Structure 1
Amino acid sequence: MPESLTPEPGSTGDRLLTPAEVAEMLQLSVDEVVALVLDARLRGMKVGSPGRWRIESASVEGYLDDQAEEARRMALWRESNAASFPELWGRGAGGGRPGP
């Protein structure tokens, strides 16, 4: 029986992108994309001789998901900081205002 053409377990079978392609997608500079790879926020590797950076497309998707989640959490944090205690706990029996 012929072997399957699917990638072996452990291999990504993922498309590799150039830093310029990723930079265009993320609206960043190429240097910023390489910095994201060096900071391990994107998965990439140098291939060829001389080595040229290539970035896994799935890691770009993961990075975008992480950025969206971080933005969501920051919005919730700002919302919770903007809420006043009377809004959260009610105004109590006196209505929360000092008398005349």
Structure 2
Amino acid sequence: MTASDPAALARFLTLADTSEVLAISLSQAYALVRSGELPAIKVGGAGHWRVETTVLQAYIDGKYEENRRRGLWQQAEYADVAELFIER
């Protein structure tokens, strides 16, 4: 199974498959999982991480939405107004 073939994806992906889908390094995928940003489960006696394909897709969709909202904010009328600070 290769992560580049969507038809071959199983319910759960290894971190190596996950990193391939996201086009990031294995250590970056591990960091996303360890931080909790990308939900995953540990399975087996050695505790290998697995990411559910639906969870990965939701993560990707969420990132697209986050970037869309950031773009809208940057286009907003007041996006370039400096924050006001009150000196005490």
Of stretches 35-44 and 25-34 in structure 1, the one that deviates more from structure 2 is 35-44
- Partner of residue 71, structure 2: 75
Look up the match of 1:47. 43
Gaps of 5+ in 1: 1-13, 85-100
Residue in structure 1 matching 2:17, options 13, 17, 21: 21
**Is the 8 Å Cα contact of residues 73 and 79 (structure 2) preserved in structure 1?**
no
- Deviation string for 1:8-35 (max 9, x for gaps)? xxxxxx8110001010100111111111
Moved over 2 A (4+): 81-84
Q: State the partner residue of 1:61.
A: 57
Q: 1:75 to 1:48 in 2, by over 3 A?
A: same
Q: Which amino acid aligns with 1:17?
A: L
TM-score scaled by structure 2?
Answer: 0.69
Deviation at 1:41, TM superposition (A): 2.0
* Residues 1:52 and 1:83: Cα distance change in structure 2 (over 3 Å): closer
User: In structure 1, the residue corresponding to 2:20 is in which secondary structure?
Assistant: helix
Superposed CA RMSD: 2.2
Structure number with bigger Rg: 1
| Residue in 1 that maps onto 2:34 | 38
> Would you say how many aligned residue pairs link Structure 1 and Structure 2?
71
Q: What do residues 32-83 of structure 1 show as CA deviations (whole Å, max 9, x unaligned)?
A: 1111112222221111122211111111111111100111011111111588
Query: TM-score with structure 1 length normalisation?
Result: 0.62
